[in-house]
């Protein structure tokens, strides 16, 4: 089945199905059964039937339009379901697994015992998780099964049979499910209940509601439209969080999914490294704090980030601001007037990220997050901030902490001075104490301020080290331009530009050999004898090396020779077999 990726977010993809020039359907979408009413192909691209009169059961699936090359006929696919044992018997092997070509039934048992699933040549159009209802009743099993199938078969559409509804389709799509069915809606209709985006509820007679399948399908259309739109604009996480509140099971699934993603590397969990400032990250609920994007930031700041080399003596803790980046806010302009030395390292205290060093305030997600502001901290936020400050300050060996954040901080072995003393951060007396303590620290530790161009270069080196794992390419460089946009040159040759609106370094062609020498940038190898002219797709990629997050600069090789660069559209779990464009070409040498 022909499918083009219209948009991606983590494990969800918005697929255009059929001819990419004029697609006739999309996923996430529905698979309809013989007993279902006719639906528009735009919402339901596939039909299926199951014959259980003999074992193993037979499954038939058909396209409802010309979705397969050469787009001139309806396609029918067949599969054997296999013998499905209860998930509790995962150690048992029935020896009878699901088989099929374009559709492949998979169960919890076959995930544990069917070695044919490891064959790289298997690439079905649809993966059917046949025992999804049973896995949904067992803690963690559904999350594990969906993640395993999603990452093993990145090109396939994943159908978790019998568990989808308007109340959880965004959550399941966030986890990686592409296809749903009307089984729960049919059941709700038989009980006189309407299954909505907020869960099942009785019909409201005063508004002439009914629980017919027409009304059930209308709820599905609304939910699928919201899900597809959220994938397009990058807000699926927020929609999934809202939907999860419809049932305890959904809350549990999101929490378990978050916990699993938090235990994986950035590319395995589908994280984005670089995004522009036009993509907001809305952290409006307690659940948002568990997102792997948030916990990954906290871990990297606390355990690996190092300050600019001239700012290693004095740590200055400042409050955040509603406006991003912070430097544009009125409060931080006042702070800047009181900070008389550029040798102090400014770090903002915030929720849910914990800490945001000044040199990182423009990058994703620090320059993009939005939270409700009450002026009060809860215990979880305070615990996170205090842990991060302790870890960060001790690891980097600061001699003194000037605390203008308003949060009580204690770090063993480090002198801490509270410049707020119970007053607001912008209070004139608070600002006066801040200015006094910065000046006193600079004098006591003999901190002479470096020239502004050196200050800027050191900040960019710390940023590059955090974002790319190396700052070697910046050695010997000079910074030109007016803030906040800088041009980076070496021996009069432009290597890159820093643009905070993009939140990234825009590398020039001349910089690629330096990036190659660092050994820190991900690498993809093109297939032999391929004449590279366009973007990167699975058809022209032979292999990849290194962790790839969305937005990363990827070095392109062919025959062990560097030939250019590209920017990743897809996370590493989709490489090199994933559907659609995996990276946009940037430079060719």
CATH number at residue 481: 3.10.450
Q: Determine the Cα–Cα distance for residues 463 and 138; give it in Å rounded to an integer.
A: 43
Give me the tens of pLDDT residue by residue for the chain, a chain 589 residues long: 999 999 999 999 999 999 989 999 999 999 999 999 889 999 999 999 999 888 899 999 999 999 998 998 999 999 999 888 888 887 777 778 889 999 999 999 999 998 999 888 899 999 999 999 999 999 999 999 999 999 999 999 999 999 999 999 999 999 999 999 999 999 999 999 999 999 999 999 899 899 999 999 999 999 999 999 999 999 999 999 999 998 999 999 999 999 999 999 888 999 999 987 778 888 888 899 999 999 999 999 999 999 999 999 999 999 999 899 999 999 999 999 999 999 999 999 999 999 999 999 999 999 999 888 777 898 999 999 999 999 999 999 999 999 999 999 999 999 999 999 999 999 999 999 999 999 999 999 999 999 999 999 999 999 999 999 999 999 999 999 988 899 999 999 999 999 898 899 999 999 999 999 999 999 999 999 899 999 999 999 999 999 999 999 999 999 999 999 999 999 999 999 999 999 999 999 9
**Domain-embedded: residue 159:** yes
**Domain-embedded: residue 267:** no
Last residue of one domain, picked from the residues 416, 444, 472: 444
Q: Which domain holds residue 307?
A: 281-444
**Domain-embedded: residue 275:** no
Tell me, yes or no, whether 139 and 50 share the same domain: yes
Question: E-assigned strands of 161-205?
Answer: 179-180, 193-196, 199-202
CATH of the domain at 577: 2.30.130.10
Tell me, yes or no, whether 162 and 308 share the same domain: no
Tell me, yes or no, whether 97 and 163 share the same domain: yes
Tell me, yes or no, whether 362 and 488 share the same domain: no
CATH of the domain at 398: 3.40.50.10630
Tell me, yes or no, whether 105 and 248 share the same domain: yes
Tell me, yes or no, whether 423 and 555 share the same domain: no
**Domain-embedded: residue 272:** no
Tell me, yes or no, whether 24 and 89 share the same domain: yes
Tell me, yes or no, whether 292 and 322 share the same domain: yes
**Domain-embedded: residue 276:** no
**Domain-embedded: residue 408:** yes
440-to-297, 402, 411, 435, 447 alpha-carbon distances in Å = 32, 11, 20, 9, 10
Tell me, yes or no, whether 85 and 179 share the same domain: yes
**Domain-embedded: residue 140:** yes
Task: Output b/e per residue, 301-311; b: 16+ Cβ within 10 A.
Answer: bbeebbbbebb
Q: Sheet containing 25-27: which strands, arranged edge to edge?
A: 3-9, 12-17, 25-27
Q: Determine the Cα–Cα distance for residues 537 and 575; give it in Å rounded to an integer.
A: 9
Tell me, yes or no, whether 296 and 403 share the same domain: yes
The domain total for the chain is 4
**Domain-embedded: residue 569:** yes
Q: What 3-state DSSP class applies to 401?
A: strand
Last residue of one domain, picked from the residues 444, 472, 506: 444
370-to-266, 320, 322, 384 alpha-carbon distances in Å = 22, 11, 8, 18
Q: Decide if 8 contacts 569 (C-beta within 8 A).
A: yes
Tell me, yes or no, whether 242 and 302 share the same domain: no
Last residue of one domain, picked from the residues 495, 516, 537: 516
Tell me, yes or no, whether 169 and 186 share the same domain: yes
């Amino acid at each position: 089945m022909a499918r083009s990726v219209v948009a991606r977010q983590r494990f969800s993809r918005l697929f255009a199905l059929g001819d990419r020039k004029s697609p006739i359907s999309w996923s996430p979408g529905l698979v309809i059964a013989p007993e279902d009413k006719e639906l528009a192909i735009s919402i339901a691209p596939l039909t299926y039937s199951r014959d259980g009169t003999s074992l193993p059961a037979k499954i038939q699936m058909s396209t409802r339009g010309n979705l397969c090359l050469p787009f001139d006929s309806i396609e029918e696919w067949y599969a054997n379901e296999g013998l499905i044992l209860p998930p509790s018997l995962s150690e048992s092997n029935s020896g009878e697994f699901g088989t099929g070509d374009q559709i492949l039934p998979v169960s919890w048992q076959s995930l544990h015992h069917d070695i044919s699933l490891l064959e790289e040549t298997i690439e079905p159009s649809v993966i059917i998780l046949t025992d999804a209802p049973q896995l949904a009743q067992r803690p963690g099993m559904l999350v594990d099964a969906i993640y395993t199938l999603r990452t093993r078969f990145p090109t396939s559409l994943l159908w978790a049979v019998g568990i989808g509804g308007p109340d959880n389709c965004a959550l399941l799509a966030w986890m990686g499910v592409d296809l749903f069915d009307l089984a729960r809606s049919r059941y709700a209709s038989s009980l006189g209940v309407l299954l909505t985006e907020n869960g099942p509820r009785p019909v409201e007679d005063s508004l002439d509601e009914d629980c017919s399948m027409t009304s059930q399908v209308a709820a599905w259309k609304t939910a699928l439209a919201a899900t597809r739109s959220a994938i397009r604009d990058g807000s699926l996480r927020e929609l999934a969080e809202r939907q999860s509140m419809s049932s305890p099971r959904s809350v549990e699934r999101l929490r378990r999914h978050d916990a699993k993603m938090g235990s994986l590397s950035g590319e395995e969990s589908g994280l984005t490294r670089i995004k522009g400032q036009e993509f907001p990250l809305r952290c409006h609920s307690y659940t948002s704090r568990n997102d792997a994007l948030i916990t990954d930031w906290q871990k990297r700041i606390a355990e690996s980030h190092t300050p600019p080399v001239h700012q290693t003596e004095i740590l200055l803790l400042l409050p955040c601001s509603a406006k991003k980046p912070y430097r544009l806010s009125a409060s931080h302009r006042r702070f800047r007037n009181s900070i008389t030395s550029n040798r102090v390292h400014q770090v903002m205290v915030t929720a849910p990220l914990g800490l945001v060093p000044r040199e990182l305030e423009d990058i994703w997600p620090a320059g993009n997050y939005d939270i409700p502001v009450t002026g009060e901290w809860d215990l979880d936020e305070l615990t996170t901030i205090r842990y991060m400050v302790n870890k960060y300050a001790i690891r980097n060996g600061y001699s003194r902490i000037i605390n203008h954040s308003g949060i009580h901080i204690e770090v063993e072995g480090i002198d801490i001075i509270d410049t707020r003393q119970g007053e607001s951060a912008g209070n004139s007396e608070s600002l006066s104490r801040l200015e006094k303590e910065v000046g006193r620290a600079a004098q006591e530790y003999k901190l002479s301020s470096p020239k502004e161009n050196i200050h800027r270069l050191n900040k960019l080196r710390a940023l590059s080290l955090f974002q790319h794992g190396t700052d070697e390419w910046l050695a010997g460089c000079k910074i030109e331009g007016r803030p906040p946009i800088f041009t980076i040159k070496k021996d009069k040759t432009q290597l890159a530009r820093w643009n905070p609106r993009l939140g990234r370094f825009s590398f020039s062609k001349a910089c690629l050999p330096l990036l190659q020498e660092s050994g820190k940038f991900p690498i993809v190898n093109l297939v032999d004898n391929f004449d590279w002219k366009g973007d990167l797709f699975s058809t022209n990629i032979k292999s990849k090396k290194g962790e790839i997050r969305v937005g990363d600069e990827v070095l392109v090789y062919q025959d062990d020779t560097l030939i250019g660069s590209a920017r990743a559209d897809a996370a590493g779990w989709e490489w090199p077999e994933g559907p659609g464009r995996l990276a946009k070409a940037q430079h060719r040498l």
